[in-house]
Structure formats: C-alpha cells, structure tokens
C-alpha cells in the first residue's frame, strides 16, 4: 500500500484529515515510531561519542544500576537484576565494576545476615547528581526556545507514553512468549 498525503521533514507521511479510524491510528503510530527510532539513533550516537571521548566512563547499562540504587535505595542483587530486566550474572559483573570504582558498596542485610545488600556510596550519589545536573542543563538548553506550556506538555506526554509502554510490555510478557511476540510484531 503506497501512502500519499503531506510529508514531514523526514519524508514521512503525515496523518491527514481524510484518514479515519484504524488508518489514522496506524498513520499516527507510524509517525511516532519513526520519531522514536530517530531519537534512539541520536541517543546511541551521543552515547558512543561520549564513550569515545571518555573511555573510562561507566557503560550506560552499568550506570542504570547506580541510578536504581540511588533512587530506590539498597537492594539485593537479584532484586536489582529484576528491576532492570537483566540476567543476574550480568548484573553481578556490572556491580563488581561499580564497586571497584567506589560508586557502590556491599553491605550485610540487616534482616538476613547471610544476604548482601548493594548500596550507592556517597561518591556514587555525587556522580549520579552531577550527571543528572548536566543532563538537565543540556535538555533545558535544547528546548529553551519552546514555550513553557510546550515543555510541560512534552513532559506530561512522555511520562504517559513511557508508562503505557512499560505496562504494555508487562502485559505482553505475562501473556507468554508466543503472545508477546505476536503483540510486538511490527
């Protein structure tokens, strides 16, 4: 099926007034999907450039563990692996790296002395806060020319989309591998 109608700056068909029902839904989803792919590529390029400039920087997946420990507090490795949807052995290796850097420490679990909790150190919290500050300054500079209502609307819609994406993925996973694969086909 060849799409016709107005196109945006990326050459993608823009949903028009003549689309109805499912066609409009799919055209809108195509536009959103294309923009998400574009954003992900830009983010990956920015992360790769950052890694090239700072070869000792913590990998993005490893840094995510620190983010969870700062935001959610100390937790067991298994709970952390579940929170980031990763394999426990991968998380164990990544945590080892964060411990060597002094960003995370292992502590005895006060409820079960045989178990270990992982916790962000003061240095880990400092690194997290500094990265967050830099990220926020960059985003603020990028959208400084937007109206306050547009900035607010982006935050609101992005939070809504992220929550719906997370909930949809959870439901798809709970439905089973075959059902999830069918739900994720594009």
CA angle 51, 89, 173 (to 5 degrees): 90
pLDDT digit string, tens, across residues 140-169: 999 999 999 999 999 999 999 999 998 998
In degrees rounded to 5, what are phi and psi of residue 92? -60, -45
**Rounded Cα distance, 66 and 63, in Å:** 5
Alpha carbon distances (Å) from 117 to 111, 123, 182: 10, 17, 38
Selection from 42, 35, 39 nearest residue 9 by Cα: 35
Q: What confidence score (pLDDT) does residue 91 get? A: 95
Token duo for residue 40: 């992900």
- Over residues 77-105, the mean pLDDT reads 94
Q: What confidence score (pLDDT) does residue 7 get? A: 60
pLDDT digit string, tens, across residues 70-83: 999 999 999 999 99
Token duo for residue 53: 């400039």
Q: What confidence score (pLDDT) does residue 10 get? A: 59
**Rounded Cα distance, 81 and 9, in Å:** 40
pLDDT digit string, tens, across residues 16-54: 555 578 888 899 999 999 999 999 999 999 888 888 887
Q: What confidence score (pLDDT) does residue 186 get? A: 43
**pTM passes above 0.75:** no
Q: What confidence score (pLDDT) does residue 144 get? A: 97
pLDDT surpasses 60 at 137: yes
CB atoms within 10 A of CB 169: 14
- List all residues 6 or more positions away from 98 whose beta carbon is below 8 Å from its beta carbon: 58, 62, 65, 66, 104, 124
How many H-runs (helices) and E-runs (strands) does the chain carry?
7, 2
User: 20-24, 85-89, 124-128, 148-152 — which is least confidently predicted?
Assistant: 20-24
Domains, in order of start, for the chain:
1-56 (no CATH), 60-122 (1.10.10.10)
């Amino acid at each position: 099926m060849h799409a016709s109608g107005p196109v945006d700056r990326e050459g993608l068909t823009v949903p028009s007034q003549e689309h109805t029902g499912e066609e409009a839904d799919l055209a809108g989803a195509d536009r959103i999907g294309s923009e998400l792919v574009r954003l992900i590529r830009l983010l990956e390029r920015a992360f790769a450039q950052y890694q090239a400039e700072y070869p000792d920087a913590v990998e993005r997946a490893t840094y995510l563990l620190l983010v969870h420990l700062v935001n959610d507090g100390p937790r067991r490795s298994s709970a952390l692996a579940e929170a980031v949807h990763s394999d426990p052995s991968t998380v164990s290796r990544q945590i080892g790296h964060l411990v060597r850097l002094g960003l995370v420490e292992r502590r005895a679990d006060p409820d079960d002395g045989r178990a270990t909790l992982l916790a962000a150190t003061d240095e880990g919290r400092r690194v997290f806060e500094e990265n967050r500050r830099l990220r926020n300054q960059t985003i603020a500079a990028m959208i400084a020319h937007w109206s306050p209502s547009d900035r607010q609307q982006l935050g609101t819609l992005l939070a809504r989309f992220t929550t719906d994406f997370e909930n949809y993925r959870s439901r798809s996973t709970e439905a089973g591998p075959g059902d999830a694969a069918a739900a994720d086909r594009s």
